[in-house]
Amino acid sequence: MTGTGSAAASVLGGLDKTRPWQEDFYRHLHQHPELSHQEHNTAAEVAKRLGSFGYQVHEGIGGTGVVGMLHNGDGPTVLLRADMDALPVKEQTGLPYASTVTARDLDGNQVPVMHACGHDVHVTCLLGASALLANARHDWQGRVVALFQPAEELGDGARKMVDDRLAAVVGHVDVAFGQHVLPMPSGLVGTRPGSTLSAADSVRITVHGRGAHGSMPQAAVDPVVLAAMIVVRLQTVIAREIDPTDPAVLTVGSIQAGTKSNVIGDQAVLQLNVRSYNDQTRGSILDAVKRIVNAECQASRSPRDPEFELFDRFPPTQNDPTTTARVRAAFDAFFGDRARDLPLQTASEDFSDIPNALSVPYTYWGIGGIDPDTYHRAARAGRVSQDVPVNHSPTFAPVIQPTLDTGTQAMVSAALAWLT
């Protein structure tokens, strides 16, 4: 048994052996992306490889979810998670291994498919970390749970695994880790205690009016005016009701009503997106939305109660400070000045549904995916947001190295902070 630092160096010494197949596997995954809940080939490939490393493998959890477990003597259990799904985006990276795949989405539409969020990076790094740990069992003690989840992009993949016997499969877990490739220079790894990713909620609101001729407004309850009042009034929720030091967003992204200039319709549908960083603020905003919509409907003499439908919901990601400090110390020891502070992210993730369901502390970090020269040239020109493609863009193309090495090293060194 050795210290964490020398154990990390020893286990990661095996990277020269895993790197070649990791790079091949990454290109293969990138070229063969699969949509949310359809990750059948990815999951089968992951399960096969985990089995070959000596992991006990459970497949088909929550649909296509895969869990591999490696027991290596007495010690803590560390859960490492990667998401597997791709997006309905037409790839425009020009890479030799770009995707030309199309697939039928859950609504039956034929759509292009691309790993535009970099989940192929996460899968490849976690598989590499799983292999490295399996190949160096004399350097650590405990249990590793490698979890590959479906459908992060829909916000329900983690929840589906939890609801499908996950706790019974994995047993007692001590700590959970997740990571994401982000538009920062490749080679960097960023940690952050506390609020890290936002909670997201989408709300579909239907308000009712009374239809009439456009020339006879006295016979109508105009849903267009009602919807307009709601949009304006909703702007006061963040501005007037939420603590200015507590970041939150409320966007009305869609408003649909009416068909013709001289017809007053009988309903309007609004779609909102809400971002917040803790459950209390999240609840306050959603309560305020309901209160305002109900009150505006009453003010407009709306003949029926409005309807609210919540969808695309993601929990907040709030990194446990103690866990994060321990991971950060391991990253500082291994990566030196490549270990950085991660800024607060406005994106959302469903990772925390897993540790929350298992009542386990967690931390979630970011790794860079952008070619450092490209990034720094953009930064010098003050054009990072224009010139550096972000996740979900058709030109998002993480450089293979040092991105894969960094994500693999991060998973291994974090795990060893518990396993040595």
Minimum CB–partner distance for residue 73 and Zn ion (Å)? 34
Using the contact rule CB under 5 A, the part of the chain among 5-13, 111-119, 239-247, 262-270 near Zn ion is 111-119
At its nearest, how many Å lie between Zn ion and the CB of residue 35?
12
Contact range with Zn ion by CB under 5 A, out of 110-118, 123-131, 184-192, 308-316: 110-118
How far apart, in Å, are the Cα atoms of 100 and each of 33, 37, 94, 104? 9, 19, 11, 14
117 is an interface residue for Zn ion by CB under 5 A: yes
**Applying CB under 5 A, which part among 113-121, 164-172, 271-279, 380-388 lies near Zn ion?**
113-121
| 197 scored as a contact of Zn ion (CB under 5 A) | no
Segment near Zn ion (CB under 5 A), from 116-124, 242-250, 312-320, 358-366?
116-124
Nearest residue to 322 (alpha-carbon basis) of 174, 190, 188, 140: 174
Q: How many Å apart are CA 109 and CA 104, to the nearest integer?
A: 5
Question: Rounded to 5, what percent of the chain is helix, strand, coil?
Answer: 40, 25, 30
13: left (phi over 0), alpha (psi -120 to 50) or beta: alpha
Cβ pair 196, 319 in contact under 8 A: yes
Concatenating the DSSP letter of every residue in 339-405 gives EEEPPPP----STTHHHHHHT--EEEEEEEEE-HHHHHHHHHTT-HHHHSPPTTSTT----STTHHH
Looking at beta carbons only, is 79 or 117 nearer to Zn ion? 117
At closest approach, how far in Å is the CB of 83 from Zn ion? 6
**Between 123 and 134, CB nearer to Zn ion:** 123
Q: Which listed range, 41-49, 109-117, 128-136, 367-375, lies at the site for Zn ion (CB under 5 A)?
A: 109-117
Measured from the CB atom, the residue of 122 and 143 that comes closer to Zn ion is 122
Q: Which of residues 134 and 197 has its CB atom nearest to Zn ion in the complex? A: 197
CB of 392 to Zn ion, least distance (A): 6
Of the pair 18, 406, the CB lying nearest Zn ion is at 406
CA distance 374 to 387: 8
Q: How far is the CB of 75 from Zn ion (least distance, A)?
A: 31
**Binding-site size, Zn ion (CB under 5 A):** 1
Return the number of the residue (193 or 366) whose C-beta is nearest Zn ion: 366
Task: For the CB of residue 194, give the shortest distance to Zn ion in the complex, in Å.
Answer: 21
- Please, what is the minimum distance in Å from the beta carbon of residue 203 to Zn ion? 20
Q: Residues with Cβ < 8 Å from 402, sequence gap 6 or more?
A: 186, 187
Nearest distance from C-beta of residue 34 to Zn ion, angstroms: 14
The 3-state DSSP class for residue 327 equals helix
DSSP H stretches of helix in 87-222: 119-135, 157-163, 166-170
Q: Does 86 bind Zn ion (CB under 5 A)?
A: no
- Judged by beta carbon, residue 142 or residue 178, the one nearer Zn ion is 178
Judged by beta carbon, residue 79 or residue 116, the one nearer Zn ion is: 116
Helices (H), 86-176: 119-135, 157-163, 166-170
- Nearest residue to Zn ion, using CB? 117
By three-state DSSP, how is residue 153 classified?
coil
**Amino acid in the structure at residue 204:** R
Interacting residues with Zn ion (CB under 5 A)? 117
